[in-house]
Structure 1
């Protein structure tokens, strides 16, 4: 387990929403995992979920009172990424702003990078 700053950052609004979800789970000690996996029209897609503890190859980032986990594979695609929470007339949800993305699919759920 390694501790590294700024692979991923989280905005105050997104952090508050994550804390709300943790409260709904009845837990305030969970980690939020952000990961990249193969799939989708453009080749890669994002995933997020709660975990109780980090794995050995995880980077642990503490940001806005949230403990984020990023595995070593995903860290290659997520460097400099910001997680935000957006509310609009079209709906609400987490928005991942990734400077490494070179192409997205029209579905809006998958992406590719130059790597």
Structure 2
């Protein structure tokens, strides 16, 4: 099955760092999902969890990724990146299927 998401090297390094240094149990793996969906659209979430019966399991560069079957369609084409600046740091979700904006 085609991977619905992609993960940048920087984000992958940060995820592995969190798993190694934040006491994430070894039977847990990365979970990617969505919340909401009303007028405000959806919010994307990252976390660590055990597999559940309604999950689809994907792999990216050796990392297992859990996505609930009902969330897969909302995550198609999503690229997860990690940014770090003097003001903030965190994961970002960018829809790589969206047309690029060209300013005139």
Question: Could you say whether these structures have the same fold, taking a TM-score greater than 0.5 normalized by the shorter chain as the test?
Answer: yes
Runs of 4+, deviation exceeding 3 Å: 26-29
Alignment match, 1:80? 77
Q: Aligned runs of 1:58-73 on 2, under 5 Å? A: 58-73=55-70
Taking structure 2 as the reference length, the TM-score comes to: 0.78
TM-score, length-scaled by structure 1: 0.72
Q: Specify every segment of 5 or more residues in structure 1 that has no aligned partner in the other structure, as ranges.
A: 102-115
2:3 aligned counterpart, secondary structure = coil
Question: Does the 8 Å CA contact 2:3/2:59 hold for their aligned counterparts?
Answer: no
- 2:30 pairs with 22, 29, 32, which one? 32
How big is each residue's C-alpha offset from its partner over 1:22-73, in whole Å with a ceiling of 9 and x where there is no partner? Answer: 1121545521111111168613211111012x22221111102211111111
Aligned to 1:55: 52
Structure 2 segments unaligned to the other structure (5+ residues): 99-104
Cα RMSD over matched residues? 2.3
